[in-house]
Amino acid sequence: MSDEQELGITESKEHSTGEWYAEVVRKAGLANYGPDGMSGFIITRPRGYALWEAVQDALDTRFKATGVQNAYFPMLIPESYLEREKDVVEGFDPEVAWVTHGGYEELEERLAVRPTSESIIAPYMSQWVRSHRDLPLRVNQWCSVVRWEATETKPFFRTKEFLWQEGHTAHASEEEAWSETTTRLDQYEEVYEDVLAIPVLRGKKPEHDKFPGADTTTTVEALMPDGKSVQGATSHYLGQSFAEAFDITYTDEDEEERVAHTTSWGLSWRALGALIMTHSDDQGLVLPPTVAPEQVVIVPIWQAETKDDVLEYAEGIADDLRGAGVRVELDDRDGRNPGFKFNEWELKGVPLRIEVGPNEVEEDSVTLVHRPDGESTSADREGLVDTVHDHFDTVYAKLYANAEETLEGSVREATDRADILGTIGQHGGYVKAPWCGDEACEAEVKDQLAAEIVLVPFEGSESDTEPIHEGETCALCDDEAVETAYFAQSY
What 3 state SS string does the chain have?
CCHHHHHCCCCCCCCCHHHHHHHHHHHCCCEEECCCCCCCCEEECHHHHHHHHHHHHHHHHHHHHCCCEECCCCCEEEHHHHCCCHHHHHHHHHHCEEEEEECCEEEEEEEEECCCCHHHHHHHHHHHCCEHHHCCEEEEEEEEEECCCCCCCECCCECCEEEEEEEEEEECCHHHHHHHHHHHHHHHHHHHHHHCCCCCEEEECCHHHCCCCCCEEEEEEEECCCCCEEEEEEEEEEECHHHHHHCCEEECCCCCEEECEEEEEEEECHHHHHHHHHHCECCECCCCCCCCCCCEEEEECCCCCCHHHHHHHHHHHHHHHHHCCCCEEECCCCCCCHHHHHHHHHHCCCCEEEEECHHHHHHCEEEEEECCCCCEEEEECCCHHHHHHHHHHHHHHHHHHHHHHHHHCCEEECCCHHHHHHHHHHHCCEEEEEECCCCHHHHHHHHHHCEEEEEEECCCCHHHCCCCCCCCECCCCCCECCEEEEEEEEC
Measured between alpha carbons, how far is 318 from 296 in angstroms, rounded to an integer?
9
Confidence (pLDDT) at 469: 61
Q: What is the pLDDT of residue 13?
A: 96
Asked if 250 and 131 touch (Cβ cutoff 8 Å), the reply is yes
Q: What percent of the chain has pLDDT over 90?
A: 88
Q: Are strands 328-330 and 296-300 parallel, antiparallel or unpaired?
A: parallel
Instruction: Specify the pLDDT at position 1.
Output: 31
Measure CA 343 to chain center: 27
pLDDT of residue 176: 98
Domain with CATH 3.40.50.800 in the chain: 296-398
- Give the model's pLDDT for residue 85: 72
Residue-averaged pLDDT of the chain: 94
Question: Is 6 a residue whose pLDDT tops 90?
Answer: no
Phi, psi of 78 (to 5 degrees): -55, 140
What's the CA gap between 51 and 272, in Å, rounded?
A: 7
Whether residue 477 has pLDDT greater than 80: yes
Lowest-confidence segment of 53-57, 114-118, 232-236, 407-411 by average pLDDT: 114-118
The string of pLDDT tens digits covering residues 203-223 is 999 999 999 889 999 999 999
CATH 3.30.110.30 domain position(s) in the chain: 411-489
Indicate where the chain has its CATH 3.30.930.10 domain(s): 3-279
Q: What pLDDT digit, counting tens, does each position of 281-296 carry?
A: 999 999 999 999 999 9
pLDDT band at 177 (very low <50, low <70, confident <90, very high): very high
Distance, CA of 47 to CA of 31 (rounded, Å) = 8
pLDDT bin (cut points 50, 70, 90) of residue 488 is very high
Which amino acid is located at 410 in the chain? S
Count Cβ neighbours within 10 Å for each residue of 192-221 and write b for 16 or more, e otherwise: bbebbbbbbbbbbbbeebbbbbbbbbbbbb
pLDDT digits (tens, 9 = 90+) for 162-172: 999 999 999 99
Of 5, 19, 410, which is closest to residue 221 (Cα–Cα)? 410
pLDDT confidence band for 82 (50 / 70 / 90): confident
Superfamily designation of domain 411-489: C-terminal domain of ProRS (3.30.110.30)
Mean pLDDT value across residues 243-248:
94
What integer is the mean pLDDT of 32-53? 95
User: Do 486 and 457 meet the contact criterion of CB atoms below 8 Å apart?
Assistant: yes
Cis? peptide before 136, omega within 30° of 0: yes
* Mean pLDDT computed over 369-396: 98
Contacts for 431 with CB less than 8 Å, ≥ 6 apart: 412, 413, 414, 419, 420, 423, 424, 486, 487, 488
What architecture is domain 296-398? 3-Layer(aba) Sandwich (3.40)
**Tell me, what's the pLDDT at 460?**
57
Position 461 scores a pLDDT of 53
Residue 465 has pLDDT above 50, yes or no: no
- Inform me whether the pLDDT recorded for 471 exceeds 80: no
How crowded is the C-beta side of 323, counted as CA atoms within 13 Å?
A: 9
Reported as a single tens digit per residue, the pLDDT across 137-154 is 999 999 999 999 867 889
How far is the C-alpha of 62 from the C-alpha of 170, rounded, in Å?
A: 19
Max alpha carbon distance in the chain (Å)?
Answer: 86
Q: Mean pLDDT throughout 320-332?
A: 98
pLDDT at 165: 98
With left for phi above 0 and alpha for psi between -120 and 50, is residue 428 left, alpha or beta? left
pLDDT at 83 (0 to 100): 85
In the predicted structure, residue 382 carries a pLDDT above the cut 90? yes
Fold of 3-279: BirA Bifunctional Protein; domain 2 (3.30.930)
Query: Residue 3: pLDDT band by 50, 70, 90 thresholds?
Result: very low
